[in-house]
Amino acid sequence: MDRCLLPLLCALLLLVGCNTGGLDFAGQTGTDIDRAGMTFRVFHDAERARVIRTSMGRPRNVPLFRAAVVSVIEEASGCTADAADLQGDWNLVEGPIKCPP
């Protein structure tokens, strides 16, 4: 029984870090937003944003996914984002934002 506990605990610790903002957004809790049937956690500062999709499954509609990401960035940050400037995949997207002075 003890032999199984250590690998299970290690796997759990790895998964805990999967939807955090990363070291550059350390200390931020992020903002959870539901959009287009998906759930996102948004981290941002004055110059850039990082979006982590926390819902299960893979989105099938690329334009809808990109629009949802831009929308949650703008809602969470109060800044504008351009889909053409964003980089990432289905799970993590990041890029610059433009905030009012």
What's the pLDDT tens digit per position in 31-75? 999 999 999 999 999 999 999 999 988 788 889 999 999 999 999
In a domain, 82, yes or no: yes
pLDDT, greater one: 2 or 93: 93
In a domain, 12, yes or no: no
What's the pLDDT tens digit per position in 5-34? 666 655 544 444 455 555 555 567 799 999
In a domain, 13, yes or no: no
CA distance 64 to 101: 30
Q: In this model, does residue 2 exceed pLDDT 80?
A: no
Domain extent for 63: 20-96
The per-residue pLDDT for 29 is: 76
In a domain, 31, yes or no: yes
Q: In this model, does residue 77 exceed pLDDT 90?
A: yes
**In this structure, what token pair is assigned to residue 61?**
């509609």
Number of domains in the chain: 1
